[in-house]
Structure 1
């Protein structure tokens, strides 16, 4: 039998589960790196999935605590789509995946792990990335530690932040 090492999973398995929604964030905090928040927009933010399916597994979620896509306000769903677009470009630039799964699970029956707060997944994919592991062993291989992935992706989102700020100042 082969042993797979995924030390970050133990924190989740043994650790206390939050009483509050993990996607309901304070507006201003110095914990963004610890929480793996890559970008904060006006109505939504980008966060790394700390229990990823693959390297670079990102989520885009509104600040407002809503469960259903149809409950989003116009400005929220516009910004979410803009962030999904930006995340796709960043993932393609950095990881060069052969594909990207983008999806949202609305409700427990659809597979939502946190059904109370809408969130969109972006999962970079490569041919054979799951192979037999996901099917036979119910395991996934994530070859790079979250801290390193965060550090590598952060500059792309810093540039996105500067671009959005510059456009805002120019009145665009």
Structure 2
């Protein structure tokens, strides 16, 4: 174990464990602080508008449809946490076109089949948080969460450490899921 590092020197020694054995998750600060969070009418910085303009591997896109795409959540609740997003910058489910809503449903169903084949989860959480007051991290762009769940996947880390341990890199998960998408 590394020597004890005083609290005021943590920033000078990133990645070195301290005397309290903290699990550092500095990547989550962008999410917590709302960095680059788009507004309802501003899609310039919206990650769900920008992602489809990049290469699938770079953007962590698993699959593309005509009206929606499936992308890995950058801040997953569990390994394999997918988001189904319309290409169009629209905030509310009731404002989605019939085609967008139908393809979101079809992609959600296909995502469940694909994740089930790849990871054999015991269940799923599905959901859309409409508005920031309802918990939407990016309220300005509609997205459906598909979160695989396993028995015992909630342990002391989220309760005590307010963080989650995810055993796969997002790029690895995207590669596995993209390869299995057409089979689902």
Q: TM-score range by the shorter chain?
A: 0.7 to 0.9
Partner of 2:47: helix, strand, or coil? coil
Equivalents in 1 of 2:28, 2:91: separation in Å?
28
State TM-score, norm by structure 1: 0.82
Q: Determine the structure 2 residue equivalent to 1:20.
A: 45
Task: Tell whether 2:130 aligns with 1:111.
Answer: no
Partner of 2:48: helix, strand, or coil? coil
Q: Determine the structure 1 residue equivalent to 2:16.
A: none
Equivalents in 2 of 1:64, 1:133: separation in Å?
36
Per the alignment, do residues 159 and 126 of structure 1 end up closer, same or farther by CA in structure 2, a change over 3 Å counting?
closer
- The alpha-carbon deviation at position 88 of structure 1 amounts to 0.4
Q: Do 2:36 and 2:46's aligned partners in 1 also have CA atoms closer than 8 Å? A: no
Match of 1:2 among 16, 21, 27: 21
Task: Tell whether 2:168 aligns with 1:129.
Answer: no
Partner of 1:23: helix, strand, or coil? helix
Q: Do 2:57 and 2:175's aligned partners in 1 also have CA atoms closer than 8 Å? A: no
Per the alignment, do residues 40 and 121 of structure 1 end up closer, same or farther by CA in structure 2, a change over 3 Å counting?
same
Partner of 1:24: helix, strand, or coil? helix
Q: Number of residues paired by the alignment?
A: 157
Unaligned runs of 5+ in 1: 161-172
Deviations 1:54-104 (A, max 9, x none): 110000011111111100111110000000000000111111111110100
Q: Do 1:130 and 1:141's aligned partners in 2 also have CA atoms closer than 8 Å? A: no
Q: CA RMSD in A?
A: 2.3
Matching of residues 64-143 of structure 1 within 5 Å: 64-143=88-167
Q: Do 2:83 and 2:145's aligned partners in 1 also have CA atoms closer than 8 Å? A: yes
Q: Determine the structure 1 residue equivalent to 2:76.
A: 52
Per the alignment, do residues 26 and 53 of structure 1 end up closer, same or farther by CA in structure 2, a change over 3 Å counting?
closer
Q: Do 1:60 and 1:120's aligned partners in 2 also have CA atoms closer than 8 Å? A: yes
Of the two, which has the highest radius of gyration? 2
Q: Determine the structure 2 residue equivalent to 1:35.
A: 59
Partner of 2:121: helix, strand, or coil? coil
